Amino acid sequence: MPKLIYILNGPNLNLLGKREPEIYGRETLADVEARCREVAGEFGLAVTLMQSNAEAQLIDWIHAARDKAAGIVINPAAFTHTSVAILDALNTFAGPVIEVHISNIHKREAFRHRSYVSLRADGVIAGCGIEGYALAVRRMASLVAGA
């Protein structure tokens, strides 16, 4: 059985590729999933990509990951900057966590500069567009190897 990586996405990312292409690009979440699956395959990993606009759902998926996933790649979207609950959930997960942002949050409004999730993340990728997800999966392959 290949090790499974959860790729979790927060609110409004279902609109990826459909709105604000100047910030988030023209590719959709389905494109992200396809690219991540391709990279994961190179390393013998499997991926499950999920998106929710609800904080509780994201927390439930993080809890489920405790039994099901070797690692979590997460773009918490706006919850990055607000959610102690998502941070607490990630702190219950023993495996590696990589935080991804499509845009460079440090080049944007001051309220986007703080990330609660970064207090738990083993790595953070920002400003690399959707390629950031593929980079995260690649890094995840190193982190879960032999674990």
DSSP calls for 90-110: HHT--S-EEEEESS-GGGS-G
Please tell me whether residue 124 binds ligand CA2 under the rule CB under 6 A.
no
Residues numbered 9 to 68 that lie near ligand CA2 (CB under 6 A) are 12-13, 15-16, 19-20, 24
Stretch of 30-38, 42-50, 60-68, 76-84 lying at the interface with ligand CA2 (CB under 6 A): 76-84
Stretch of 34-42, 44-52, 97-105, 134-142 lying at the interface with ligand CA2 (CB under 6 A): 97-105
Helix (H, G, I), strand (E, B) or coil at 82: coil
Helix (H, G, I), strand (E, B) or coil at 1: coil
Q: Are strands 97-101 and 71-75 parallel, antiparallel or unpaired?
A: parallel
What are the residues binding ligand CA2 (CB under 6 A)? Answer: 12-13, 15-16, 19-20, 24, 75, 77-78, 80, 101-103, 105, 112
